[in-house]
Amino acid sequence: MDYKSIKKFTMKILNSLKTLTTGNKKLPQTASGLALATHPQSGTDAASHIEIGAGSNAHSSVGSAAKPARMETRGLTVMYGKATGVHNISIPIHTRKVTALIGPSGCGKTTFLRALNRMHDLTRIARVTGEVLLDGKNIYDSDINPVLIRRRIGMVFQKPTPFPTMSIFDNVVAGLKLVGIRNRSILNEACEKALRQAALFDEVKDRLGDAAVSLSGGQQQRLSIARALAVEPEVLLMDEPTSSLDPQATNRIEELIHSLKKEVTIVIITHNMQQAARVSDYTAFFYMGKLVEMGKTKSLFTNPRQKKTEEYITGRFG
Amino acid sequence: MMRLQSQVKSTSILYRWLGDRIFTVVVVLLGASIILITAGMAWVLFDEGGLALREFGFFGFLSGTTWDPAVQLQFGAWPFLFGTLVTSGLALLISIFPAIAVGIFSAEYAPKWLSSLIDNLVQLIAAVPSVVIGIWGIFVLAPWMRETVYMPIYLWAETSAPGLIPILGHPIGYGMTTATIVLSLMIVPYTAALSKDAIESVPKEQREASRALGATRWEVIRMAVLPYARSGILAGTVLSLGRAIGETMAVAMLIGNKNTLPFSIFGAGATMPSVIVNEFREAVESLHLSSLMAIGFVLFIIALIVNLLAAWIIRKYSISGGKVV
């Protein structure tokens, strides 16, 4: 018994356990609980499409581009102890569109966003009620494994969060390594694809082995986006992704969002009205933990139905 | 504003100037005194140990294997250096993983009340005087080890593998193994507390970033927490090694105090602190006393090296603000 065979054996056991706990018996067994299926509509560069198997059976073996996840919230409420974070939010998250969440600080945008991929599970005092439906299935159901949900719904944070001890390459493929992909050529391919999607590849292609923290702030943020994209999520949540960046880097990220929405559903929080108007298709305005209104970005900005919305977007408060 | 101005006590320029000067002088003097005291300690140890160091040479003293204060008046520190390195090194090896596990459990898994309970107990263990731990070792651990571990192995070796007997040594209960086990218990609190601090100081963003990639709890620790905390954990480990090297009382009570090589696994041995505490009262020969002082000087240098090593590790591997410094 050498190290590798022991590892293989352990992975096998872990995988069967994983399948048991997620209740997904249909998942084809590969080295990692991942289904490697040929992509029906893929272009030339992506010969194999990596699809994260998850608990939902509506979405089991078809690639995300072929049948993207539908997402909506119903009566979503998050409480921090006795304080209400957001109250009774019911909105659709339009597939392969960009939905912007706007509102003054403390209005519950971030609280809402973090409820969409169960990040509140990590905060002991937060309690989530209501539903977040992904393909008709509530992600808060007891038979859902939050780890698998987070693989389908990725997240990018306000500050760049490269893992400081890892190289650029290792950062990008960190999520893939988590699900057990060790094949170097698959990793290389996925790394290049994600970096290209994040418009970072040309800048770092000759120094993938360098420390991730050697990059500039804007590059680090694009690296964080590439890392989130590498696991091929169906939905990408972005919490003020440009707030710590200069205008030029902001511009690049906005272009990136624009090109990404062809493949991924995006929900973005922004404090910048112009940015919301530029990048999003739909906008939801939050105020004091409640949804004031949501609509097509164009109509919300040109013809808001609520007075509060008008006051906010014209800069009278917030 | 005007009213506030009138409330300000008028202070003379002289008072302000003088106050500033006096404060500066006091602070500088007190700050400098710690340097002077440390340097003075090193000098006294070196000076007092000078007789022995001149007689045998610094490296001759370190590598000398004979310590005979009675007949030959020959002093070599190697048995004690060896005993110190082996017991401390092994104690570190035994304690490091359990201690880091305690740190991880307390910082990541335990609910708040349990975590603070653990922290308090860890501090309590660290606060128990080593002579008390020594007493416990003498009356509880050593007899228990002798009856349940040393004797059965010794009896087995006597019949089936007599070649092992010299390596195993006499199972009197007091010896290298007992001392190592007690040492490892004594340094667990230090490694655990320092590891926990290091783990807790890992930014929330790092944990969330790995969570958002679909990492499980253990994967978050492996991917984000431990790499980020590695410098703190390593430095804590090295500082614990320093504690183990300097630990005197409990070791002196349990190691059996044998001044001549070879040491054996179960049998008696000695360390540098233990030989100092055991012999300085009866050291009448000036060369003997000087040799003990020289051992103190060597200990001082080892402590210095250990601390510098810890500082270097923190500098080399620490991460601040997302950057590897």
Evaluate whether residue A74 is within a structural domain: no
Supply the DSSP symbol for A155: E
- A25-55 exposure pattern, b = at least 16 Cβ within 10 A, e = fewer: eebeeeebbbbebebeeeeeebeebbbbbbb
pLDDT greater than 60 at residue B13: yes
- C-alpha separations of A41 from A27, A60, A190, A230 in Å: 21, 17, 17, 18
Closest CA to A271 of A239, A296, A303: A239
CATH classification at residue A183: 3.40.50.300
Nearest to B323 among A148, A164, A227 (CB): A164
How far is A204 from chain B, CA to nearest CA, in Å?
18
Count of structural domains within chain A: 2
Do residue A218 and residue A164 come from a single domain? yes
Do residue A44 and residue A143 come from a single domain? no
* Lookup: tokens for A117: 């991929």
* Residue indicated by tokens 């009382």: B249
The rounded percent of chain A whose pLDDT value lies above 90 is 14
Q: Does B226 touch chain A (CB under 8 A)?
A: no
Do residue A294 and residue A205 come from a single domain? yes
Does the beta-carbon distance from A178 to B214 stay under 8 Å? yes
**What residue of B is the nearest CA neighbor of A121?**
B211
**What residue of A is the nearest CA neighbor of B216?**
A147
Do residue A28 and residue A155 come from a single domain? no
Evaluate whether residue A87 is within a structural domain: no
Q: Does B138 touch chain A (CB under 8 A)?
A: no
Evaluate whether residue A125 is within a structural domain: no
Q: How many CA atoms lie less than 13 Å away from A284 in the CB half-sphere? A: 24
Do residue A14 and residue A163 come from a single domain? no
Q: Does B324 touch chain A (CB under 8 A)?
A: yes
pLDDT per position as a tens digit, B131-154:
999 999 999 988 898 888 888 888
Do residue A99 and residue A17 come from a single domain? no
With a threshold of 0.95, tell me whether the complex ipTM lies above it.
no
Evaluate whether residue A25 is within a structural domain: yes
Give the pLDDT of residue B10. Answer: 62
What's the CA gap between A66 and A41, in Å, rounded? 7
Do residue A31 and residue A146 come from a single domain? no
Do residue A177 and residue A231 come from a single domain? yes
Evaluate whether residue A67 is within a structural domain: no
Domain with A7 in it? 3-52
pLDDT average, residue stretch A262-275? 90
pLDDT average, residue stretch B100-120? 90
Do residue A8 and residue A106 come from a single domain? no
Evaluate whether residue A177 is within a structural domain: yes
Evaluate whether residue A23 is within a structural domain: yes
pLDDT per position as a tens digit, A204-213:
888 888 888 8
Do residue A35 and residue A152 come from a single domain? no
- C-alpha separations of B324 from A225, B232, B307 in Å: 21, 14, 22
Which domains are assigned to chain B? 78-324 (1.10.3720.10)
User: Strand pairing partners for A268?
Assistant: A100, A238
Evaluate whether residue A227 is within a structural domain: yes
Do residue A18 and residue A106 come from a single domain? no
Does the beta-carbon distance from A164 to B210 stay under 8 Å? no
pLDDT greater than 80 at residue A112: yes
Q: Answer for the pair B322, A162: CB distance below 8 angstroms, yes or no.
A: yes
How far is B104 from chain A, CA to nearest CA, in Å?
16
Do residue A27 and residue A109 come from a single domain? no
pLDDT per position as a tens digit, B220-254:
999 889 988 888 888 888 888 888 888 888 888 88
